[in-house]
Structure 1
Amino acid sequence: MSKEGLCAIITGSASGLGAATAAMLAKDGARIVVNYSSSQKEAEQTADLCRTAGGEVVVVQGDVSRDEDCKKIVAAAAAWGRVDTLINNAGITKHMAHENLDGLSAEDFQRLFGVNTIGPFQMVRAARSLLEAGAKASGRASAVVNVSSVAGISGIGSSIAYAASKGALNTITYSLARALAPLIRVNTVCPGYIDTPWFTKGRGVEGAAKVRDSVVAKVPLKRASTAEDVAGLVYFLATPQSSNMTGEIVRMDAGAHLIT
């Protein structure tokens, strides 16, 4: 499907799901802003893959919890005069057993909400005029895709603070979908477990392997989602294929929610 020079901003796209989504869009010749907070080497590797695939890429460092950084990330797309899709993928967590209430500080909540909840809002606010310009130029609504988590639906996941931040992001999706229509669509993806370095960084190689094996054993489809699996869903919501969808929270968890 031709994207006719689709212009995209993907936060947190140095690796994992963000990088996989960038690669998919690049194959269609998209122009992409690849954003990273601290992993410059990985971001440059992602950019090289996208260029090889046929995409035009700008790499920008920025922490989405900082409003000035959000404006800087969006400014990297200003030369294109439009943004057709904004993918809010940047996210962080603190791995902490839910029963360990003393393990989470107010600062932990503030940091997680800053990146996972406030960050996407600030990115939308900063990109609004370019998203509206994209809609007017193409004759169809531009797209915002938020990457949330099943933790935000069921209160599970790596920590209570993480689940709370993703639950708030889901609510923001509904609010923004109402506020920004008809020029901008806003949808959210809620993945379950994804087999990426995310868990290795948080739990170590052995701990991550235990989580993966446990998930595969429990879920009805008996498989762990890959970054490419979820990127396919993000791609669908980010492109004109989903042009009549807004305000949707779409879960992809290999059927884990069916377990009673």
Structure 2
Amino acid sequence: MRDAVAIVTGGGTGIGAAVVRRLAARGVRCVVNYASSRDDAEALVAEVGNGAIAVRADIVADDQCRALAAAAVDAFGRIDFLVNNAGRTKFAAHEDMDALDAEDFVDIYRLNTIAPFQMIRACAPHLRHSDMGAVVNVASVAGVFGIGSSVAYAASKGALITMTKSLARVLAPAIRVNAVAPGYVGTGWFEKRLGEEGFARLNDKVAGALPMAMAAGPDDIAGPIEMLLDPASRVMTGEVLLLDGGGHLDIGMSRRPGREI
């Protein structure tokens, strides 16, 4: 993978930053995309070195997706890997049917589903010229099981998973397209909002509820992403890896009161 080129959307923080660190350690030259986290992205490229660059682009806009791909090619002459990591949600209880409106769905869908499609389309001509072209979409267990922060978020990630399979089919054999579906990931987003002690309590609560007795951090998700990009995984395409500490093993085991299995 040395001297390969990767674009990581939302790459300045969280899972994206962990991916950049892992890829840079393998000798991959990274294009760290950000929309608003400029300071984080620039600090990260200074940290990892290896020619990494930070590029601002709001990938909801197709022209900015194309400009991001062009910036990678201008800087390095090629694109080998794309990690579609950027995403958003709105927290709303699933049973509260009035908590979301149409614009909430559209806003979340634009970044979580349409933007990854636009990025793949923008990068595809260059990925086809690579002998290891690969895409990893960061989905969620929410999109597999209809759970998570809101119905709109679950729907957008479910669509991303379906799109992963569709594009894996049509872009083969030149480009592999896979997805990861994390459960809870303890990123700085939670720590900033809960504080150090609250964040620790949340991680303990999550760990206590999972078969693997762990609360995943960004690097726990970045490792499987690195594995899916690695040419050693060339037999894998159209796959969705559940990365939730075994939490999916318990889904469906609970019953509503008064209902029989």
TM-score, scaled relative to structure 1? 0.91
Q: Distance in 1 between matches of 2:201 and 2:145?
A: 21
Does 1:144 pair with 2:135? Answer: yes
Distance 1:120 1:108, change over 3 A: same
Give CA deviations for 1:161-215 in whole Å, capped at 9, x if unaligned: 11100000000001000110010000000011111023346x6447755543332
The 5 Å alignment of 1:214-253 reads 214-253=205-244
Distance 1:133 1:22, change over 3 A: same
Aligned with 2:136: secondary structure?
strand
Moved more, 9-18 or 210-219: 210-219
Q: How many residues align?
A: 249
Aligned with 1:82: secondary structure?
coil
Q: Distance in 1 between matches of 2:125 and 2:167?
A: 14
Contact 1:132 1:142 in 2 (8 A): yes
Does 1:48 pair with 2:46? Answer: yes
Aligned with 1:23: secondary structure?
helix
The match for 2:83 is 87
Does 1:16 pair with 2:2? Answer: no
Aligned with 1:56: secondary structure?
coil
Give CA deviations for 1:87-146 in whole Å, capped at 9, x if unaligned: 0000111111112221111111111100000010000000011101113xxxxx410000
| Match among 227, 242, 246 for residue 255 of structure 1 | 246
| Match among 22, 28, 31 for residue 29 of structure 2 | 31
Does 1:75 pair with 2:70? Answer: yes
Letter in 2 for 1:7: V
| Match among 4, 7, 28 for residue 6 of structure 1 | 4
Q: Which 5+ residue runs of structure 1 have no aligned equivalent?
A: 136-140
Distance 1:8 1:91, change over 3 A: same
Greater Rg over alpha carbons, structure: 2
Deviation at 1:147, TM superposition (A): 0.4
Q: Distance in 2 between matches of 1:169 and 1:207?
A: 32
Letter in 1 for 2:44: T
Moved more, 12-21 or 57-66: 57-66
Does 1:115 pair with 2:106? Answer: no
The match for 2:52 is 57
TM-score, scaled relative to structure 2? 0.91
Q: Distance in 2 between matches of 1:111 and 1:207?
A: 29
The match for 1:160 is 151
Q: Distance in 2 between matches of 1:97 and 1:142?
A: 39
Tell me how large the CA RMSD over aligned residues is. Answer: 1.5
Letter in 2 for 1:215: V
Q: Distance in 1 between matches of 2:116 and 2:93?
A: 26
| Match among 76, 95, 101 for residue 99 of structure 1 | 95
Q: Which 5+ residue runs of structure 2 have no aligned equivalent?
A: 254-261
Aligned with 1:102: secondary structure?
coil
Contact 1:81 1:133 in 2 (8 A): no
Q: Distance in 2 between matches of 1:204 and 1:171?
A: 34
Q: Distance in 2 between matches of 1:112 and 1:133?
A: 32
Q: Distance in 2 between matches of 1:143 and 1:63?
A: 22
Moved more, 212-221 or 90-99: 212-221
